[in-house]
């Protein structure tokens, strides 16, 4: 929920608009005049330690304005010794699992356990609220198989064929052949996974679930749309024949069993 809330989308509805307060911006969001991810400008007033009230325009996304309302504004993400940073949001970046950990570490170190418990409760409630509003679902169309996959598999198979030929000529031992074949498929699997992840839209629901740290991982994504890769037998020994298909394409009978 927090990952979704603090996301920024260039060109979103309402981008560049000015608002006299965060509440007015929220009202605009509720009336579909802007989104949580639109970069907007909001007039902020803040009472300084010397009692002076400072007012200015702050630019960020609506989601980040909302998120910062539950956070202390002295967590040292921003250098407050500079006057130009007096009104800047403390957390003006995309927050995932690692980002939340950094924020909470700073809260507990600066404000102690009691304040941290309050912040945690607020983050939990806000996270549930906006993960519900995000209404993320998984569709088969979210899983896009890279166009480069057939060529990658063909290149790997050609390499394996050369290794097998060298083995038959007596240029390498059985153990060397096995290790070379397994390494070839591992490298191909890694390259395919990276190509898949690089090609995914950063607003793809599956990518967001994994990137936020909420659910899933790169390995699970690559099994959905890359290749299942090398499997181990019941003894833990890696089988040198990989499963080249993925769950999006479907496994054939030999690969399944």
Output the domain CATH number for residue 49. Answer: 1.10.274.100
Question: Are 126 and 147 members of one domain?
Answer: no
Mean pLDDT, range 104-128, rounded to an integer: 82
Strands (E), 33-163: 39-47, 53-61
Question: Are 158 and 221 members of one domain?
Answer: yes
Portion of the chain with pLDDT greater than 90, in percent? 0
Question: Are 53 and 101 members of one domain?
Answer: yes
Distance of CA 96 to the CA centre of its chain: 7
The pLDDT of residue 164 is above 80:
yes
Domain boundary among 100, 134, 168: 134
CA 17, CA 37: separation in Å to the nearest integer?
13
Lowest average pLDDT, out of 144-148, 239-243, 251-255, goes to 251-255
Question: Are 233 and 113 members of one domain?
Answer: no
Question: Are 116 and 220 members of one domain?
Answer: no
- Structural domain for 24, as ranges: 2-134
Q: What is the mean pLDDT of the chain?
A: 79
Question: Are 114 and 149 members of one domain?
Answer: no
Question: What value, to the nearest 5°, has the Cα angle with vertex 33 and ends 28 and 35?
Answer: 85
Mean pLDDT, range 234-252, rounded to an integer: 78
Token output for 229: 């890769």
Question: Are 77 and 62 members of one domain?
Answer: yes
Residue 122: predicted pLDDT: 83
The pLDDT of residue 178 is above 80:
yes
Residue 214: predicted pLDDT: 62
The pLDDT of residue 66 is above 80:
yes
Q: Residue 144: which of 195, 78, 82, 216 has the closest Cα?
A: 195
Question: Are 186 and 160 members of one domain?
Answer: yes
Indicate the pLDDT class of residue 212, thresholds 50, 70 and 90. Answer: low
Across 47-61, 135-149, 165-179, 236-250, the highest mean pLDDT is recorded for 165-179
Question: Are 125 and 11 members of one domain?
Answer: yes
Question: Are 53 and 97 members of one domain?
Answer: yes
Indicate the pLDDT class of residue 221, thresholds 50, 70 and 90. Answer: confident
Question: Are 27 and 130 members of one domain?
Answer: yes
Domain boundary among 84, 112, 134: 134
Q: How many domains does the chain have?
A: 2
Domain CATH for 203: 1.10.132.30
Token output for 60: 């960020």
Domain boundary among 134, 150, 168: 134
Mean pLDDT, range 128-133, rounded to an integer: 80
Question: Are 58 and 77 members of one domain?
Answer: yes
Neighbours of 37 (CB within 10 A): 22
Indicate the pLDDT class of residue 216, thresholds 50, 70 and 90. Answer: low
């Amino acid at each position: 929920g927090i990952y979704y809330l603090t996301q920024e989308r260039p060109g979103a509805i309402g981008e560049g608009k000015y608002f006299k307060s965060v509440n007015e911006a929220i009202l605009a969001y509720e009336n579909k005049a802007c989104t949580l991810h639109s970069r907007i400008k909001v007039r902020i007033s803040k009472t300084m330690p010397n009692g002076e009230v400072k007012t200015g325009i702050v630019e960020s996304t609506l989601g980040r304005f909302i998120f910062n309302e539950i956070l202390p504004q002295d967590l040292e993400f921003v250098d407050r010794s500079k006057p130009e940073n007096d009104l800047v949001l403390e957390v003006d970046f995309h927050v995932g699992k690692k980002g939340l950990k950094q924020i909470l570490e700073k809260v507990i170190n600066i404000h102690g356990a009691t304040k941290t418990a309050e912040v945690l409760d607020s983050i939990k409630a806000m996270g549930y609220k906006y993960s519900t509003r995000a209404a993320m679902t998984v569709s088969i169309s979210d899983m896009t198989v890279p166009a480069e996959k057939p060529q990658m598999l063909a290149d790997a198979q050609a390499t394996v064929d050369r290794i097998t030929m060298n083995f038959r000529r007596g240029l390498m031992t059985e153990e060397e052949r096995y290790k070379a074949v397994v390494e070839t498929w591992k490298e191909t699997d890694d390259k395919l996974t990276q190509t898949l992840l690089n090609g995914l839209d950063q607003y793809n629901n599956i990518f967001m679930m994994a990137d936020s740290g909420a659910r899933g991982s790169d390995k699970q994504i690559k099994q959905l749309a890359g290749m299942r890769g090398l499997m181990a037998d019941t003894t833990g020994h890696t089988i040198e024949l990989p499963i080249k298909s993925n769950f999006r394409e479907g496994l054939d009978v030999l690969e399944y069993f």
